[in-house]
């Protein structure tokens, strides 16, 4: 009899848990850059996300490499939606890939949580109820850089960025806040590594400061070549060229450079402390801002799952919109167009022992949203 009751109890538990699990399970499709140039960014986003959802049995993740190619990203998204039947997509690093994948994805009723790319088109006219950006709108960090340039007394900046959607957003963002004049404005080729020609132009331009947005390997080349060129102008840029993943490769050329970021490893809150500690023990390296974005994306997803089933789209969307999770950035909420309202910090590259890293110098923009909210009809 005792045996019978335990079996029965076990059956009931099994039955209920499988019933329970059915509605609450979420299948995530992660499309990110894991090979070739720029793979460090995708790997950090993936690792941050996986760390956040680690041990959560209700989340299953399919990860695929987009090789930084828009056509491949589109194919992967189609396959994930049609044959893998994922509920949520995430992971894309590059804005040109996001522009190719996100609109079709959200129009098919899937949720897209962006851990990185935040092109202006998707924040303004192209905003969508199923699209959430957990990182920033592309202009944000550059706007903070423009603001910092004013406070540092720069009057005449030379600005450059790669010729792709995020590059254009970057220069627009900087110009929106920077009050001085421009000594020059250049778009470089995406993936360009040699900046001798651009540096010669900077030298000849009579600028008093340089602003650049060159994410990934592009920034490594620029900083090294700029410091060898003997030009002594102050440099300011977004965190992308000074994040943990590439500082080692830039070396001392980066020391002392001011850069703007929504995240830093020394932001003082419990969620961030836990994240930095867990990330280090899990992967044996310091996290980057990309990793923090991946992590926050994972935590946001979990917070929504605890409130609603993913199949119940309206409820799930409301739960996402509330952003009821403890972000590594501290205060975090979504504006009407589903892009973050958050503080953007000014950081400085320093040396901790032998390791190059960043520390916060000041808050650049407080509770900062984005310039496209009013264009979004949602």
Partner 1 sequence: MISILFFEQLLNGIQFGTMLFLMSAGLTLIFGVMGLINLAHGSFYMIGAFSAALIASLTGSFWLALLASLSGAAIAGVLIEIIIIRRLYRRDHLDQVLATFALILLLSEAVRWCFGAFPLYLDIPKNLNGTLPILDDIIYSKYRLFIIFMGLLIATGLYILITKTRLGIRIRAGQNDRQMISALGVDISKLYTIVFALGASLAGLAGAMIGAIQSVEVGMGEPILILAFVVIVIGGIGSIKGAFIGSILVGVTDTIGRIFLPELLKVFMEPASATSVGSSIGSMLIYILMALILIIKPSGLFGKT
Task: Check binding of 299 to partner 1 (CB under 8 A).
Answer: no
Q: Which of 191, 255, 273, 313 binds partner 1 (CB under 8 A)?
A: 191
- Collapsed DSSP state (helix, strand, coil) of residue 264: coil
Site track for partner 1 across 30-59, x = CB under 8 A = ----xxxx-xx--x----------------
Site track for partner 1 across 196-225, x = CB under 8 A = xxx-xx-xx------------x--xx--xx
Question: Which residue in 64, 49, 219 sits closest to 135, CA to CA?
Answer: 49
Contacts of 21 (CB under 8 A, 6+ apart): 57, 58
Question: Which residue in 6, 5, 149, 26 sits closest to 86, CA to CA?
Answer: 26
Residue 344, phi then psi, degrees to nearest 5:
-115, 130
Question: Which residue in 326, 144, 318, 106 sits closest to 236, CA to CA?
Answer: 144
Stretch that binds partner 1, among 70-78, 134-142, 191-199, 362-370 (CB under 8 A): 191-199
Distance CA 223, CA 236 (A): 11
Work out the widest C-alpha separation in the chain, in whole angstroms. Answer: 92
CA-based end-to-end distance of the chain: 60
Task: Find the shortest distance in angstroms from Cβ 237 to partner 1.
Answer: 16
- Which C-beta is closer to partner 1: that of 311 or that of 351? 351
In the region spanning residues 239 to 278, those forming contacts with partner 1, defined by CB under 8 A, are 245-246, 248-251
Q: Which of 108, 163, 280, 362 binds partner 1 (CB under 8 A)?
A: 163
Task: Find the shortest distance in angstroms from Cβ 171 to partner 1.
Answer: 9
Task: Find the shortest distance in angstroms from Cβ 22 to partner 1.
Answer: 37
To 10 degrees, the CA torsion angle through 170, 52, 308, 324? -60
Secondary structure (DSSP) of 87-156: SEEE----HHHHHHHHHHHHHTT-EEEESS---HHHHTTT--TTEEESS--TTHHHHHHHHHHHHTT--E
Distance CA 122, CA 119 (A): 6
Task: Find the shortest distance in angstroms from Cβ 122 to partner 1.
Answer: 20
Task: Find the shortest distance in angstroms from Cβ 297 to partner 1.
Answer: 20
Task: Find the shortest distance in angstroms from Cβ 81 to partner 1.
Answer: 27
Task: Find the shortest distance in angstroms from Cβ 191 to partner 1.
Answer: 6
Task: Check binding of 189 to partner 1 (CB under 8 A).
Answer: yes
List Cα–Cα distances, 15 to 12, 56, 93, 250, in angstroms.
Answer: 5, 19, 40, 56
Task: Check binding of 69 to partner 1 (CB under 8 A).
Answer: no
Q: Which of 56, 58, 60, 229 binds partner 1 (CB under 8 A)?
A: 229
Task: Check binding of 109 to partner 1 (CB under 8 A).
Answer: no
Task: Check binding of 333 to partner 1 (CB under 8 A).
Answer: no
Task: Find the shortest distance in angstroms from Cβ 291 to partner 1.
Answer: 12
Cβ pair 94, 73 in contact under 8 A: no
Site residues (vs partner 1, CB under 8 A): 34-37, 39-40, 43, 163, 168, 185-189, 191, 193-194, 196-198, 200-201, 203-204, 217, 220-221, 224-225, 228-230, 245-246, 248-251
């Amino acid at each position: 009899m005792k045996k019978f009751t335990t079996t029965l109890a076990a059956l009931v538990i099994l039955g209920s848990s499988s019933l329970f699990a059915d509605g609450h399970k979420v299948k995530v499709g992660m499309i990110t850059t894991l090979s070739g140039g720029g793979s460090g960014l995708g790997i950090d986003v993936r690792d941050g996300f996986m760390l956040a959802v680690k041990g959560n049995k209700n989340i299953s993740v399919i990860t695929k490499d987009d090789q930084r190619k828009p056509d491949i990203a589109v194919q992967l998204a189609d396959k994930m939606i049609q044959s893998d039947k994922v509920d949520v997509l995430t992971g894309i690093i590059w804005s040109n890939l996001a522009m190719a994948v996100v609109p079709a994805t959200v129009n098919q009723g899937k949720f897209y949580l962006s851990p990185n790319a935040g092109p202006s088109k998707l924040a303004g006219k192209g905003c969508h109820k199923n699209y959430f950006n957990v990182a920033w709108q592309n202009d944000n960090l550059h706007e903070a850089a423009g603001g910092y340039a004013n406070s540092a007394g720069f009057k005449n900046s030379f600005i450059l960025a790669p010729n792709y959607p995020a590059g254009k957003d970057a220069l627009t963002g900087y110009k929106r806040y920077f009050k001085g004049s421009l000594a020059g404005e250049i778009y470089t080729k995406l993936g360009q590594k040699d900046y001798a020609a651009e540096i010669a132009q900077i030298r000849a331009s009579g600028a008093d400061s340089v602003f650049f947005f060159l994410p990934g390997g592009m920034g490594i080349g620029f900083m090294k070549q700029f410091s060898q060129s003997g030009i002594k102008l102050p440099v300011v840029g977004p965190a992308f060229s000074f994040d943990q993943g590439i500082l080692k490769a830039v070396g001392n050329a980066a020391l002392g450079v001011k850069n703007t970021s929504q995240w830093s490893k020394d932001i003082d809150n419990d969620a961030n402390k836990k994240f930095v500690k867990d990330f280090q023990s899990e992967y044996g390296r310091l996290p980057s801002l990309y990793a923090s974005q991946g992590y926050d994306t994972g935590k946001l997803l979990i917070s929504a799952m605890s409130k609603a089933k993913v199949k119940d789209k309206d409820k799930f969307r409301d739960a996402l919109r509330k952003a009821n999770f403890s972000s590594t950035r501290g205060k975090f909420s979504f504006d009407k167009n589903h892009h973050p309202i958050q503080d953007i910090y000014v950081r400085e590259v320093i040396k901790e022992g032998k390791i190059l890293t960043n520390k916060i110098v000041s808050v650049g923009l407080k509770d900062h949203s984005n310039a496209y909210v009013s264009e979004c009809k949602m």
